[in-house]
Amino acid sequence: MVHSLQKIVGVSLVVLLAACSNDQTYKHQVSGDEDYLKAPALKELRAPAGMILPVQNGQYAVSNRAVSTGNVGLALDIRPPSQPLALMTGSRVQYSANTATLSLENSGKNQALWPQVIAVLEQKGYRIADRQDANQTLTTDWVNWQRSDENTAHSARYQITAQPQGYQNQLSVKVLELKAGDKSVSDAASMQRYSISMLNAITEGLDKTQSNLISQQAGKAGGSIVLQAAHDDTGLPVVIVREAYANVWERLPAVLESVGMKINDRNKQLGLITVTFKSSNSNWAALSVPNPDLKNGDYKIQVGDLDNRSSLQFSTDKGQVLKESDNNALVTILQSAFNHSSIAE
């Protein structure tokens, strides 16, 4: 009898834990003491007769008339607002009035933005309900979103537009309708979260498409990339690469690895690469270049976009730019590394 009772309790506990594990509400809630909600209201300061209070500064006054209409305690959703991602070179992103926007420079690589957007939507399986190519505007069917921080799956319909705006191409994503299950949702945080989710999904696809095109172009470019030593506007030494930023960025990992620079981190938006360098005679022999006598250690590489050219500025992990002799030596070995990577492709 005791064994049976223990078994029933154990099964009940497992069921209870399973039920709790499916509830994602805890991800929205403040964790801790809620006694602050019981704090008494502010009272007006009353000074005893004959006492003169200091001059008040309204900038620091705390009003006791303000009434909060928002959620508090466990009802408050503490999740940070979603942010649009500027994954693509030279892009800017913003969110306003239920619309998430990606702005791109109106250059040759972005002229085919609309067909690329259509292709990304098709690849991701987002169905299009209405499409007007003349106006570069479309309306999606219901798109389903499965998020690990929601108890109920959300679905949304979107209006997506790509329009030239002066010197830029602008891609806009607006939520037309949003539902949690069968229930309509219209709160500002959710509208922002799911409009940005769609924009980021499209941006990710566009960035991948352009990266693939750049890789193909890099393969056709052969050994035509030319490097030279130069100085930036402040007189500090840099390496100039006579090739577009996107192409250089895609080829740099293989090039740097071949000269003994292990990549620790890459940030395309900042154009920053951190590496750890370890000199190797076998590397210099393979590239047919002399040993540059560069100290082993951690370095930062700032990759600059100069339109049809790019710049590489090497500095120590402390931020000290390499001296000119080291920069000149890097020009020689990187030129050979770029040439060898082209042959390998």
In this structure, the answer to whether residues 235 and 208 fall within a common structural domain is: no
Q: What are phi and psi of 310, to 5 degrees?
A: -135, 160
In this structure, the answer to whether residues 102 and 165 fall within a common structural domain is: yes
Q: Is residue 48 part of a domain?
A: no
Q: Does the pTM exceed 0.75?
A: no
Q: Among 180, 202, 219, give the residue marking a domain's end.
A: 219
In this structure, the answer to whether residues 248 and 198 fall within a common structural domain is: no
In this structure, the answer to whether residues 182 and 277 fall within a common structural domain is: no
Q: Is residue 318 part of a domain?
A: yes
In this structure, the answer to whether residues 304 and 234 fall within a common structural domain is: yes
Distance CA 250, CA 265 (A): 14
In this structure, the answer to whether residues 177 and 267 fall within a common structural domain is: no
In this structure, the answer to whether residues 98 and 176 fall within a common structural domain is: yes
Q: Are 119 and 138 in contact (CB under 8 A)?
A: no
Distance CA 289, CA 283 (A): 9
Q: Is residue 105 part of a domain?
A: yes
Q: Are 126 and 4 in contact (CB under 8 A)?
A: no
- pLDDT band (50, 70, 90) for residue 311: very high
In this structure, the answer to whether residues 96 and 215 fall within a common structural domain is: yes
Tokens of 57: 């500064």
In this structure, the answer to whether residues 267 and 169 fall within a common structural domain is: no
Distance CA 68, CA 40 (A): 15
- Residue 288's domain is classified under what CATH number? 3.30.310.170
Distance CA 133, CA 334 (A): 45
Q: What is the pLDDT of residues 120-146, one digit of tens each?
A: 999 999 999 999 999 999 999 999 998
Which segment of 15-24, 257-266, 299-308 scores lowest on mean pLDDT? 15-24
Tokens of 308: 């049809």
Distance CA 310, CA 321 (A): 17
Q: Is residue 337 part of a domain?
A: yes
In this structure, the answer to whether residues 209 and 257 fall within a common structural domain is: no
Q: Is residue 303 part of a domain?
A: yes
Residue range of the domain that includes 128: 92-219
Q: Are 336 and 288 in contact (CB under 8 A)?
A: yes
Q: Among 150, 185, 219, give the residue marking a domain's end.
A: 219
Between 166 and 333, whose confidence is greater? 333
Does the pLDDT at position 217 exceed 80?
A: no
- Residue 109's domain is classified under what CATH number? 3.30.530.50
Average pLDDT, the chain: 82
Q: Among 219, 250, 284, give the residue marking a domain's end.
A: 219
Q: Could you give the number of structural domains in the chain?
A: 2
Q: Is residue 152 part of a domain?
A: yes
Q: In residues, how long is the chain? A: 345
Q: What is the pLDDT of residues 87-127, one digit of tens each?
A: 777 788 999 888 999 998 877 667 788 999 999 999 999 99
- pLDDT band (50, 70, 90) for residue 179: very high
- pLDDT band (50, 70, 90) for residue 17: very low
> What is the pLDDT, as a whole number, of residue 263?
94
Q: Is residue 83 part of a domain?
A: no
Q: Is residue 10 part of a domain?
A: no
Does the pLDDT at position 11 exceed 90?
A: no
Tokens of 212: 């693939």
> What is the pLDDT, as a whole number, of residue 244?
82
Q: Which helix (H) or strand (E) holds 180?
A: strand 168-180
Query: Is the dihedral angle over the CA atoms 60, 66, 72, 76 positive or is it negative?
Result: negative
In this structure, the answer to whether residues 185 and 233 fall within a common structural domain is: no
In this structure, the answer to whether residues 251 and 337 fall within a common structural domain is: yes
Tell me the C-alpha to C-alpha distance, in Å, between residue 157 and each of 40, 119, 127, 185, 195.
45, 18, 10, 12, 10
